[in-house]
Structure 1
Amino acid sequence: MTLLLLAGTGEAKIIAAHLHASGIAAIASLAGASRAPAPLALTTRTGGFGGEAAFRTYLNDQAITAVLDATHPFADRISQRTARVCADLSIPYCQLLRPPWRPGPGDNWTLIDREEEAAAHIAPGATVFLATGRQTLHRFANLAACTVISRQINVPDTPFPFPNGRFLQGDPPFSERQEYDLFKSLGIDWLIAKNAGGTTPRTKLDAARRLGIRVALINRPPQPDAPRVTTVEDALAWVHSL
Structure 2
Amino acid sequence: MNVLVLGGTGEARRLAAALDGRPGFAVTSSLAGRVAVPALPEGEVRIGGFGGVDGLVAWMRGSRTDAVVDATHPFAARMTANAVAAAEAVGVPLLLLRRPGWQEGPGDRWHRVPDAPAAAALLPALGERVFLAIGRGDLPVFARLAELWFLLRAVDPPPPPLPPRHHAVLARGPFTADAERALLREHRIDVLVTRDSGGEMTAAKLVAARELGLPVVLMARPEAPPAPTVATVAEAVHWLESRQLG
* TM norm. shorter chain > 0.5: yes
> In the alignment, what sits opposite 2:236?
235
Q: Please tell me the residue identity of whatever aligns with 1:82.
A: A
User: Which amino acid counterpart does residue 67 of structure 1 have in structure 2?
Assistant: V
Report whether the alignment pairs 1:148 with 2:138. no
Trace 1:106-145 onto structure 2 (pairs within 5 A). 106-123=107-124, 126-145=128-147
Q: Distance in 1 between matches of 2:218 and 2:111?
A: 6
Is the CA contact 1:160–1:166 (under 8 Å) kept in the aligned structure 2?
no
TM superposition outliers: structure 1 runs of 4+ over 4 Å: none
Structure 1 match to 2:67: 66
> Distance between the aligned counterparts of 2:186 and 2:142, measured in 1?
23
What displacement does 1:170 show? 1.4
Could you say which residue in structure 1 is the equivalent of 2:198? 197
CA distance in 2, matches of 1:120, 1:65: 45
Question: Do structure 1's residue 21 and structure 2's residue 43 form an aligned pair?
Answer: no
In the alignment, is the contact (CA less than 8 A) between 2:71 and 2:97 conserved in 1?
yes
Matches of 1:90 and 1:200, distance apart in 2: 34
**Cα distance per residue 1:76-102 (max 9 Å; x no partner):** 111112112212322010000111111
Any gaps of 5 or more consecutive residues in structure 2? none
Q: TM-score, normalised by structure 1?
A: 0.95
Q: Measure the CA separation in 2 of the matches of 1:127 and 1:47.
A: 35
Can you list the C-alpha shifts for 1:156-183, whole angstroms capped at 9, x where unaligned? 4x67723211211112110111101111
- Alignment partner, residue 3 of structure 1: 3
Q: Does the 8 Å CA contact 2:52/2:82 hold for their aligned counterparts?
A: no
* Letter of the 2:152 counterpart: S
Where structure 1 has 5 or more consecutive residues not aligned to the other structure, the ranges are: none
| CA 151–53 in structure 1, closer or farther in 2 if over 3 Å, else same | same
The change in CA–CA distance for 1:175 and 1:135 in structure 2 (over 3 A counts) is same
- Letter of the structure 2 residue corresponding to residue 57 of structure 1: A
Deviation at 1:30, TM superposition (A): 0.4
How many residues in Structure 1 have an aligned counterpart in Structure 2?
241
Q: RMSD between aligned alpha carbons?
A: 1.5
Q: Given residue 182 of structure 2, which amino acid in structure 1 is its aligned partner?
A: D
Q: What do residues 4-33 of structure 1 show as CA deviations (whole Å, max 9, x unaligned)?
A: 011111011111111113142111100112
Which secondary structure does the structure 1 equivalent of 2:194 belong to? strand
Letter of the 1:43 counterpart: E
Q: Indicate the SS of the match to 2:157.
A: coil
Cα offset, 1:39, TM superposition: 1.7
Q: What secondary structure does 1:204 align onto?
A: helix
Q: Could you tell me which residue of structure 2 aligns to residue 75 of structure 1?
A: 76
Cα distance in 2 for partners of 1:37, 1:45 equals: 12
Contact kept in structure 2, 1:2 and 1:63, CA below 8 Å? yes
